[in-house]
């Protein structure tokens, strides 16, 4: 079981109107794709992908529920509990990698993009969001490779979803691997496109988590648990997983359709 570290927020950045990045120091090493459980005092614990892995680690939070909205009120100097790192990591292979990210899913893959570029691989990114104001980590992506943008409202780049932009790139470029994170409907389309072209693909999947260590089963995903078997899954498993893109579990553990 991972230890709980009480950390001080040393830096904070507003990425867009509903998303902030919190930076902290903690005595552990992590790999791209892993996550931590963040304890918000007087509230609850939530899983967060590590968007920074260096000495000043960080996670990026979209304020959309009670706990993440409480977290959004924290400032530099505030203290949080960090438990981790948890889960598996991306296994980057090949020379040309396409990263497909939607919204705050970019926070789960940006460290992998930087690691891939550092190892000499060609990095191409298809990054999408609802509007241009919600595109995050664009400059970080531009530092490591070629970037293509998409917005649902057409306010920046391609007018449409990141998955559709990725399909266009697959028609004009050759890739050895695809890595994706974002809304599950988007990722499902990316996995289907990759499978059709027989390109290895990995996706970082999000589910409701209570424990993060495989005890509570709240993050059940097919016959796997996202917290210990994931959050990164390969295309072969995802193609045969009935839950992927279709079902999730709510706070009570009830299986409900993904909207």
pLDDT one-digit tens code per residue, 198-256: 999 999 999 999 899 999 989 999 999 999 999 999 999 999 999 999 988 888 888 89
Higher pLDDT, 143 or 254: 143
Query: pLDDT tens digit string along 33-69?
Result: 999 999 999 999 999 999 999 889 999 999 999 999 9
Query: pLDDT tens digit string along 150-208?
Result: 999 999 999 999 999 999 999 989 999 999 999 999 999 999 999 999 999 999 999 99
Q: Residue 56 and residue 249: Cα distance in Å, rounded?
A: 33
Q: How confident is the model at residue 259 (pLDDT cuts 50, 70, 90)?
A: confident
User: What are the structure tokens assigned to 4, written together?
Assistant: 């709980």
The pLDDT score that the predictor gives to residue 2 is 66
Helix (H, G, I), strand (E, B), or coil: what is residue 156? coil
Higher pLDDT, 144 or 252: 144
Q: Exposed, middle or buried: residue 74 (CB in 10 Å: 0-12, 13-18, 19+)?
A: middle
The pLDDT score that the predictor gives to residue 252 is 81
Q: Where are the domains of the chain?
A: 4-86, 96-257
Give the up-direction half-sphere exposure of residue 136: CA atoms within 13 A in the CB hemisphere.
Answer: 26
> What is 96-257's CATH number?
3.40.50.80
Domain range 4-86, its CATH number among 2.40.30.10, 3.30.70.270, 1.25.40.10, 1.20.1090.10? 2.40.30.10
- Integer-rounded Cα radius of gyration of the chain: 17
Neighbours of 196 (CB within 10 A): 10
Cα–Cα nearest to 122, from 146, 96, 142, 99 = 96
Helix (H, G, I), strand (E, B), or coil: what is residue 52? strand
- Given a contact cutoff of 8 angstroms between Cβ atoms, the answer to whether 125 and 116 are in contact is no
Query: pLDDT tens digit string along 72-125?
Result: 999 999 999 999 999 999 999 999 999 999 999 999 999 999 999 999 999 999
Q: Give yes or no on whether 4-86 and 96-257 have one common fold.
A: no
Q: Are strands 96-102 and 122-129 parallel, antiparallel or unpaired?
A: parallel
The pLDDT score that the predictor gives to residue 188 is 96
Whole-model pTM: value is 0.95
Q: Residue 238 and residue 195: Cα distance in Å, rounded?
A: 10
The pLDDT score that the predictor gives to residue 174 is 94
Q: H-helix or E-strand containing 81?
A: strand 79-86
pLDDT at residue 1 tops 80: no
């Amino acid at each position: 079981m991972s230890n709980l570290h009480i950390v001080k927020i040393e830096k904070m950045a507003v990425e867009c109107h509903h998303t902030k990045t919190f930076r902290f120091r903690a005595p552990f090493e992590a790999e791209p794709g892993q996550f931590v459980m963040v304890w918000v005092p007087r509230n609850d614990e939530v899983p967060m992908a590590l968007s920074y892995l260096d000495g000043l680690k960080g996670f990026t939070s979209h304020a959309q529920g009670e706990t993440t909205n409480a977290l959004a009120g924290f400032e530099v100097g505030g203290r949080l509990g960090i438990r981790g790192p948890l889960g598996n990591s991306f296994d980057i292979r090949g020379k040309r990698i396409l990263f497909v990210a939607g919204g705050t899913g970019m926070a789960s893959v940006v460290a992998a993009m930087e690691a891939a570029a550092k190892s000499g691989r060609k990095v191409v990114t298809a990054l999408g969001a609802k509007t241009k104001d919600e595109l995050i980590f664009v400059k970080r992506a531009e530092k490591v490779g070629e970037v293509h943008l998409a917005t649902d409202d057409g306010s920046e780049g391609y007018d449409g979803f990141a998955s559709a932009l990725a399909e266009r790139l697959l028609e004009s470029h050759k890739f050895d691997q695809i890595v994706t994170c974002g809304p599950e409907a988007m990722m499902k389309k990316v996995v289907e496109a990759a499978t059709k072209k027989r390109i290895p693909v990995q996706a970082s999947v999000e589910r409701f988590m209570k424990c993060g260590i495989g005890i509570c089963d709240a993050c059940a995903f097919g016959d796997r648990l996202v917290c210990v078997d994931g959050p990164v899954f390969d295309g072969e498993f995802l193609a045969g997983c009935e839950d992927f893109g279709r079902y999730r579990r709510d706070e009570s553990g009830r299986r409900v359709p993904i909207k």
